[in-house]
Amino acid sequence: MANPTVIVQPIALQSSHIQKTGQWSSGLCDCCDDMSICCFGFWCPCCLMCDTANTFGECMCLPLVEMFFGGLAPPVTFSLRSSMRERYHIQGSMCNDCCLSACCKICVWCQIARELKYRQQPQLLVNQSVNMAY
């Protein structure tokens, strides 16, 4: 039996071809959507940052490194927000992430925490019942 000839090679899917159509589950300043996260961020922002980084799958102490960078743009906040957008295919840009991370650091962490909480909820799918006629 002869070996088949490959005419078309499969194309590897690259992340740049994935269209980002998703939105954040809550806005940047929608702290009232989840008051427990808002209070956690207000009273103990370092704890919120460490807990959120850990929930996202990063090292729990990673946000503490940010304290040693006294610059304008906090690198850990910026990179975690950008990573979350990439993971969940959320619309946005690196420039927007950088600006928000520099201006509204705690609000960004609260938004990330709310998004993780929303994405980790079990999804309940309800099917419409089918009436069978005999």
- pLDDT tens digits, one per residue of 55-64: 999 999 999 8
- What's the Rg (C-alpha) of the chain? 21
Whether the pLDDT of residue 101 is over 70: the answer is: yes
Q: What's residue 76's pLDDT?
A: 92
Predicted confidence (pLDDT) per residue in 11-53, tens digit: 544 444 445 578 999 999 988 889 999 999 999 999 999 999 9
Structure confidence at residue 17 (pLDDT): 45
Residue 86 CB partners (closer than 8 Å, separation 6+): 15
What does the domain layout of the chain look like in residue ranges? 32-63+72-119
With CA atoms as reference, report the closest residue to 88 among 54, 122, 120.
Answer: 120
Separation between Cα atoms, residue 118 and residue 93, nearest integer Å? 21
pLDDT bucket at 85, cuts 50 / 70 / 90: very high
Q: Phi and psi of 22, rounded to 5°?
A: -75, 160
* pLDDT tens digits along 103-129: 989 999 999 999 999 988 776 666 666
Distance CA 129, CA 81 (A): 41
Calculate mean pLDDT across residues 86-107. 92
What's the pLDDT score for residue 14?
46
